[in-house]
Structure 1
């Protein structure tokens, strides 16, 4: 997280201009169209379609973004990445994110597929923290802890969405106002999240927020990746690299103990890259507690003003590679441990343990109760800012 005293960014008039030349790509193959869009730097104008309604009648929309050979579909409900399509080494497209094809399944599931997470991503011990001498109690939705903002976090809110097209790419701006006291958090938080597909097909997320009272903020995205394609099986053969020499061990409720432990000579060492499944079934106590990997890695780079490399994920079979750069100091690597065969995804196939993994760029779990961790406090007059970039290669 980076804070400054400027106002939250607004969409400029230039970014709201429609692309007049978008129709020129009609009739091209998917690969050729992506190349043409990358060359022009404009991409196709974002499109919107209905994706059902909430029980109270609120309409949910799905936005489709295309640029540089990447196709991203996002819901106004929860800012959910409903699908993410990229080509393999032969130019064949596949959806590489887990999700559903209908709104009802998103309403029922507790997996956070593809969602924007807030007000606080990850766990807070006992759902409680003290700020400026006052203690705040949050809903408990993960045993004795609060997870991902509580029982109705940002993932279960309908966001205002505005499309844009400009020289930096195509995308949508999502806005939400979280009221003072919502889910127990202090302060009215005004949140802006921008999803951009660049001319090179990179998916960039820019987060910004302001508050009228001191609060804590930790925003992230919870996309589950399977670079072989959603519904194709487990990701244990994917190669993962994490630029982190330390991680935060957890107690039996998956709350950090406060230690920043070295990854050397442990299953948590991904510095040189290795298959996700190589050490996942070893008897390390931390793996037993989480039923796999569900930990925060302490990135060697720390908090940075601009995104720097944090992780690389690749699938040898398809040749697809994902590189993640971020301004954040940590990344939560979750290996899909709690997918237990009770959900069927967009392909109609059942999701089982390890069928997708998350790389959630973030500040550390339980930071409000850990003064030694990088601070997640946001005060009036400051602006929370965070950026993460996902670049795709084959």
Structure 2
């Protein structure tokens, strides 16, 4: 397992570098083919390379991704290493160890009939080209098992917030800020009003829950305005990130953001965007989590824990399609996307065994 994990980590796969993602896909395909004795479909969509294996009529979809957030060259500062039972390297936790565990789990089964495996190449950037592929691949399945890394302590992810993204644009009127500022319409000032309005909406959606998995959050992120230091800005933009705890909350936020009101006379407001991933809720994961708990007992493993998280994955898409979904079945470790990204090596064969038992149970 460690040799195979090293092979994947050393093949860097930054999402924005499509050539690197293609090289990574070839490495993943070769590794998977050795365990599954089958060559995957190689699907290039919008320049991004995805892989899919299908055995018989699919009933269980295993979902993973091979792209990472780490720019090419990150190995120089974050080299592959194993020390004191901890493996480190770019993407080792999110989620290359999960892919290794998946191949070992499926390869250990006496029959692959009814299994479909999808490994995408752009999950880290919102599954822009693979969204429809995920939905097509899960159609008709009884369960989706997602090999994203576990939550703290190895907990499975049974709840994920839905994600919405918006661009709020302001059009004003330019003027010389020293000679005739009164003739301008300041888009930056209007953007400030909109940021405050979004902050008020965020507070109203929290309903006494300032933090945690039950809170819906509305966060202005990227903000820009103006063209020069002596000109009244005629354009401003605000990028807004929304994490919703329920479909109802996601719909309410969408309605409220599209109803934002201009506060500056003469300014124009344009709102674009909306929901991009639905929530994965308890109703989607509860039955599968119970099956996983039973599998852990049979294997003599410690009891499984469940976690609700704010981040999204392709599990949101499979759950949104109405297919029971269990996430976080991948590596145990921590530090996703961070300098201390790592995997607990001793957990890898245990998680592979759990996945194999879970597939068989389903």
The answer to whether the superposition gives a TM-score over 0.5 is no
Q: Which gives a bigger RCO, structure 1 or 2 (Cα 8 Å, sep 6+)?
A: 2
More strand by share: 1
More helix by share: 2
The structure with the larger Rg is: 2
